[in-house]
Amino acid sequence: MKKLFEIFLRAAVVLAGTALVTFTLLWYAPGDPAATIAVARFDSTVSAEIVDKIRIEAGLDAGFWPAFRHWIGPILVGDLGNSSVSGTPIWPEMRTVIALTMPLAMLGMTIGLVISIPLAILAACNQGTWIDRGAIALASLGAAIPGFWLALLLILVFAVKLSWLPAMGTGTARHLILPGLTLGLGVAASLTRILRSALLEARNAPFLPAFIRRGVGVHERALAHITPHAAIPVLTVVGLELAFLLEGAVMVEVVFARPGIGNFLIQAIQARDFPKVQAVVLLTAVLFVVVNLLIDISYHLIDPRVGTQDA
């Protein structure tokens, strides 16, 4: 119980920290933030009075901490605020773009799992053979290819040369194939390596010979001992893959000109729409922290040894 409390305390501290870092970066951005908002909303000939009005309205006049409170207060009750360019609420717009990115991320994860799980099992079962070496070589190659270049190559082959699939845009399921494949191959590359070594380590665990001699059956060994042992590194990777999927979504959405959270972020940066940028960055970090919190808790459920030493 004490350990769970410690986990939650950590998550709370980290969440507060991410909010502070997000705010600090945009607070110290070059230029007067109020003027930036004014110029974005009107044009560069905006008068000083309006700039001052905006400064007070956005809580920017009283210094760092009041401005931070002004920003974080509504967010804590679920209001991400308004775009500084259009003045419209951010959350409804963000919800729609997240809904557009979700199928892409899910397809990418699915393709990644479908490729990496059989490949990792094959490699681990044939350790040291050419199958194993081939799987590692493929995974190394996949990890070294820049995602956007892979996307360009896929467009070149499947859209330009073969004209099987559309290169850009959204709409049909066919539009999802190339972006999903780009993401999925990236996921597969990192998952294969980690799954393989997790399986090998679990299979070579020192307690297994003891179980065999004690007469524990094959199925019980596999289900009750090897699987949980291999699950821990895999869980860690799921947390890391989340970051990869988010980064990948930014790249893939730009290359394939798909609307989604990645393009939303890039457009917000280009428009200097800071509230939107802050919302995306903060949401990303919160998602990452929450997922890792869940993973941390499930470690304790899977393996009671975790947390007995200071981690």
Partner 1 sequence: MRELRPIFIIVVLLVGITVFGPFLAPNDPTAIDIPNRLSAPSEVYPLGSDAMGRCILSRLLYGARWSLGLAFLVSTIGLIVGSLMGLLAAMGGRKIDWCIMRVTDIFLAFPDLVAAVVIVGVLGGGTNSLILALSVTSWTRYARVARGIGLGLSSRGYVIQARLVGLSAFSIARWHYMPTLTSSLVVVWTGMLARAILGISALGFLGFGVQPPTPEWGTMLLDARIHILSTPLQMIWPGMAVLLCVLTINITGDVLRDALAKKEIRP
| Residue placing its CB nearer to partner 1 in the complex, 216 or 285 | 285
Q: Which of 7, 107, 232, 281 binds partner 1 (CB under 8 A)?
A: 281
Q: Which of 149, 204, 222, 228 binds partner 1 (CB under 8 A)?
A: 149
Q: Which of 254, 295, 302, 306 binds partner 1 (CB under 8 A)?
A: 254
Determine, following the binding rule CB under 8 A, whether residue 289 of this chain makes contact with partner 1: yes
Determine, following the binding rule CB under 8 A, whether residue 194 of this chain makes contact with partner 1: no
Determine, following the binding rule CB under 8 A, whether residue 310 of this chain makes contact with partner 1: yes
Determine, following the binding rule CB under 8 A, whether residue 10 of this chain makes contact with partner 1: yes
Determine, following the binding rule CB under 8 A, whether residue 121 of this chain makes contact with partner 1: no
Structure tokens at 287: 């998602």
Identify the burial level of 174 via C-beta atoms within 10 angstroms of its C-beta, where 0-12 means exposed, 13-18 middle and 19 or more buried: exposed
* Inter-residue contact 119 to 188 (CB < 8 Å): yes
| Residue placing its CB nearer to partner 1 in the complex, 26 or 113 | 26
Structure tokens at 230: 């291999």
Q: Dump the DSSP string for 223-234.
A: IIIIHHHHHHHH
Among the listed residues 242, 230, 154, the one whose alpha carbon sits nearest the alpha carbon of residue 190: 242
Determine, following the binding rule CB under 8 A, whether residue 266 of this chain makes contact with partner 1: yes
Helix (H) or strand (E) holding 58: none
* Inter-residue contact 185 to 115 (CB < 8 Å): yes
State the first-to-last Cα distance of the chain, in angstroms, to the nearest integer.
Answer: 16
- Residues at the contact surface with partner 1, assessed by CB under 8 A: 10, 13-14, 17-18, 21, 25-26, 29-30, 140-141, 143-149, 152-153, 155-156, 160, 243-244, 246-247, 250-251, 254-255, 265-266, 269-270, 274, 277, 280-281, 284-286, 288-289, 310
